[in-house]
Amino acid sequence: MGDPAAARLTIDLDALAHNHAVLRAEAKGADVAPVLKSDGYGLGAAPVGLRLWAEGARSFFVARLSEGEALRAAFGPDRPATIYVLDGLTEGAAPRFAAANLTPVLSSLPQIGAAQAAGPMSVALNIDTGMGRQGLAPDEARALVQSTDRLRGLNVGLVMSHLGSGAEPENPRNTRQLTTFLETKALFPKTRASLSASAGTFLGPDYRFDLVRPGISLFGGGPRETPDPRLKAVATLSAPILDIRTLRPGDALGYGESVRIDATTRVAVVAAGYTDGVIRAAKGAGRAWFAGAVRRLLIVNMDMLVIEIDDADAAPGDHVELLGENAPLDDLAAAAGTVAHEILVRLSRRAERIYLGEA
Ligand SMILES: *Cc1c(COP(=O)(O)O)cnc(C)c1O
């Protein structure tokens, strides 16, 4: 039996489809290949992937091999998607890639060696154009192409890279990475190319190439890390009020007297906490939505949080929106000092999950 006071996580697949259409329009002719790592940014790779397939997506990215296997199982034989695994190929993993028909994204010379040793297969090549985290150095890519046999047996279907500062359109790092990508891509003249995640998709035509790889903007996160009116909230987290209290001047609220009260303050205690994904660091700067207005988030504990409600009509059991259309993902992330991606993947396994719209 569910808890009477459970937080509720609503995942709106119609909003997801809307965001996919926005990205498709922005990508112009480029393919939109959703990134569904970390269980579809915590929202369920299977229902999200099935809906995006229905919306026309045919290529997908995940991080781990096991995520690729799970997504393949969800798609089944009737939906022959191309599924790229960003971790690439490790020694001994080739049979699992073959069994689930997954395409490794190779990011290092040892991975390329492992793929060659395993026999002919389709792969993607990841180039480090200046993010520094992952990928072949451009010189390594050049040496591979110039040798006659170092890519033999590998069908390189995609050359890709990843931007480190795509959310800042004016950052010169973007043009530096673009230049390096163009130079490296020229080594593979017949191969499809991909540079951009959500943010880069909105950087204009130079950054789109053949395929874009959005994650966060499919789920409503703005490409500039601020709310974007074109995108809809996919995840809505709400929780019921447990109690309504009036605090008096001189009172202290929460552990370590975190909040000192200097004027009479009416508050609601809400049945959600950092267990449910409301990051504790959002206290003070965070906002919730209740009774038609934005409310200040005063403290966040493990299972409870407290918001200020002024003179709003309120009763135990009334739901407070902690994340959603009226409590934007990017604002909560900014208040918590993090990115929208982290907010989503930390959303509760405890909350009651409700999917809206067809999968
Ligand atoms: C996570 C990831 C993406 C998607 O990034 P978003 O910012 O969520 O759009 C795309 N490409 C790679 C290589 C990634 O790791």
CATH 2.40.37.10 residue ranges in the chain?
235-356
CATH 3.20.20.10 residue ranges in the chain?
14-219
Cβ pair 160, 141 in contact under 8 A: no
pLDDT at 2: 76
Pairing of strands 102-106, 121-126: parallel
**Is the distance from the beta carbon of residue 19 to the nearest atom of ligand 1 less than 6 Å?**
no
Question: Rounded to the nearest whole angstrom, what is the distance from the C-alpha of residue 214 to the centroid of ligand 1?
Answer: 6
**Is the distance from the beta carbon of residue 42 to the nearest atom of ligand 1 less than 6 Å?**
no
**Is the distance from the beta carbon of residue 216 to the nearest atom of ligand 1 less than 6 Å?**
yes
Task: Say how far apart CA 169 and CA 336 lie, in whole Å.
Answer: 23
The one-letter code for the residue type at 124 is A
Residue ranges of the chain with per-residue pLDDT less than 70: 1
Query: Considering only the top CATH level, what class is 14-219?
Result: alpha beta
pLDDT at 29: 92
Cβ pair 318, 244 in contact under 8 A: no
Residue 255 has φ and ψ, to the nearest 5°, of -60, 140
Residue nearest to atom 3 of ligand 1 (CA): 197
**Is the distance from the beta carbon of residue 197 to the nearest atom of ligand 1 less than 6 Å?**
yes
Relative to the CA of 213, which ligand 1 atom is closest?
10
Helix crossing, 172-185 with 138-146: angle to 10°?
10
Cβ pair 272, 251 in contact under 8 A: no
pLDDT at 4: 81
H or E stretch at 237: strand 235-247
pLDDT tens digits, one per residue of 257-314: 889 999 999 999 999 999 999 999 999 899 999 999 999 999 999 999 999 999 999 9
Which of 86, 105, 338 best tests ligand 1's pocket when mutated (most atoms within 8 Å of CB)?
Answer: 86
pLDDT at 1: 65
Distance between start and end Cα atoms, the chain: 25
Pairing of strands 319-323, 352-356: unpaired
Phi-psi region of 226 (alpha: psi -120 to 50; beta: other; left: phi over 0): beta
DSSP state of 301: -
Q: Which residues are catalytic?
A: 37, 255
CATH (residue range 235-356): 2.40.37.10
- This prediction's pTM: 0.96
